[in-house]
């Protein structure tokens, strides 16, 4: 059970987008998503990173 909780927390941290511009957030979100979930994760991470920078 501990491994599942650690894995979920790690995934949340990896998918979070870092940076101050739209490009930086999209890039870091895409890389984090790709590391966790492959190509589909890269698309989702990049999209979330780009959207979060506009708010």
Distance CA 55, CA 44 (A): 17
Are the C-beta atoms of residues 50 and 26 closer than 8 Å to each other?
yes
Mean pLDDT score, 10-20: 66
Residue 10: the pLDDT is 67
Give the residue, 13 or 22, on which the prediction is more confident: 22
DSSP 3-48: HHHHHHHHHHHHHS--SSSHHHHHHHHHHHHHHHHHHHHHHHHHHH
Residue 55 has pLDDT above 60, yes or no: no
Share of the chain above pLDDT 90, in %: 0
pTM, two decimals, is 0.63
What is the residue whose two structure tokens read 């984090």? 32
pLDDT digits (tens, 9 = 90+) for 23-44: 888 888 787 777 777 788 788 8
């Amino acid at each position: 059970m501990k491994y599942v909780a650690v894995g979920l927390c790690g995934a949340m941290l990896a998918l979070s987008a870092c940076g101050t511009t739209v490009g930086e957030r999209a890039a870091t979100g895409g890389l984090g998503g790709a590391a966790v979930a492959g190509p589909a994760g890269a698309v989702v991470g990049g999209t979330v990173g780009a959207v979060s920078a506009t708010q």
